[in-house]
Amino acid sequence: MRCGHEHQGAREALIAEKTLESIHAYMVRGRYFGGLTEEELNAQWVEVYRAACTLEGEKSCDALMDLQCEFDLRTVEPPIHLPHTDTNGPWWR
């Protein structure tokens, strides 16, 4: 069966569509993080990422999705490495 290759394009199209829907919804809500500098955006992403990882509520996950939309709009990657490079020790303490 060649199931994987036949559906890969459809999966990629669905992911692209969902990404655009998320970005559109974020922009309609006012692009809350749009005024942040890249440094502020990175710091906010780390804070929200840590909160989401410690299961501090659905709001953290929603904010993380909005931050991802802002990174997508700026065509930059979120600072995935930063939550793990805190000089004060592990972030989960």
Q: How confident is the model at residue 3 (pLDDT cuts 50, 70, 90)?
A: low
Q: How far apart are alpha carbons 66 and 45 in whole angstroms?
A: 10
Q: Each residue of 78-92: pLDDT tens digit?
A: 998 887 665 454 444
Burial of 91: CB neighbours in 10 Å, binned 0-12, 13-18, 19+: middle
Q: Each residue of 18-44: pLDDT tens digit?
A: 999 999 999 999 999 999 999 999 999
| Position 80, amino acid | I
H or E element that contains 58: helix 58-74
Q: How confident is the model at residue 61 (pLDDT cuts 50, 70, 90)?
A: confident
